[in-house]
Amino acid sequence: MGFTIYTATGCTRCKIIKQLMNEKGIAFEEQDMKAAGKEAFQKFYAANRKAIFRGPDGVEFPLLHDGITIRQGIGACVAYLLSGTKLDGFFSVGTLHKEWVDGIHVSGGNPEYTTEFLAALQYIKKGNNMKLQLDTNGLNSAILEQILAQDLADVVIMNVLGPKELYSQLAGEAVNITEVEKSLSLVTKFPEYKLQTTVAPVVREDGEISYLTTKEIGATAKFIAEATGSMKNPYLVKLFKPKECKDERFKTIEAMPANALLSYRTAARTHQVFVEIEKN
């Protein structure tokens, strides 16, 4: 079955994907939801509502469908067209617009496909003059190193999950902390970077679930200071949003009021002087 691309009139990202398919000699059918393809898109959307991301500005385009698989957004479409499902996890639908592309997760994919991942970034950034905002949680530091060497990111956001001793639990897998330390030292070298930590729930030794404590956020800030050699990193402490959480264990935990972050900021500022807190 051939490809169908759902587009919106004037969508630059859609043109990039169509061009890539033309370059690769992939036949496709275009349905422009703002023109003749409106009805076809509505039908497609109704049938695949759960698989299609709808952001605050509406559905993100392009949407690529090969009869089985749906890919949405420029990053995921490029990755799928260049490497099939190998790059799954590295890309999701972004929310930035104009020349900016986000939804690129350095730590999210299989490092065996680093070459393919870098090629996809290369195509989007160098081939089409887009600007890339990447995120990482510290894993796959070797990939981050190559991204830096090849100048493939304009902004990198690092989610520092928590203090060293809780990192594996927060990541949901065994983490070699030296990898995280390496990423922290790399991330400061990008043209623009931000560090952030979500005050996430943690399953304690006694089975109780509780949010990261102020002391643990302080320890996280200290970890950042030690790994980056600086107390002056741009650092944001964020609120955990139970409703958006995919982990069933944490969905029912009570949301923390925004003002509760004030004491976390105080704790973090001992080691990171430019820490800010998220507002509701």
Binding site for another protein (CB under 8 A): 232, 259, 262-263, 265-266, 269, 273-274, 279
Angle at 73 between CA 19 and CA 145, to 5 degrees: 95
Closer residue to another protein (CB): 164 or 269: 269
Supply the minimum distance, in Å, between the C-beta of residue 272 and another protein. 9
Closer residue to another protein (CB): 126 or 215: 215
First to last CA, the chain: 46
Supply the minimum distance, in Å, between the C-beta of residue 262 and another protein. 5
Supply the minimum distance, in Å, between the C-beta of residue 205 and another protein. 28
Closer residue to another protein (CB): 176 or 263: 263
CA distances from 161 to 131, 136, 195, 240 (A): 26, 10, 10, 12
Closer residue to another protein (CB): 194 or 265: 265
d(CA 54, CA 185): 35
Supply the minimum distance, in Å, between the C-beta of residue 140 and another protein. 32
- For residue 12, give both structure tokens: 């630059």
d(CA 245, CA 168): 18
Are 109 and 120 in contact, with CB atoms under 8 Å apart?
no
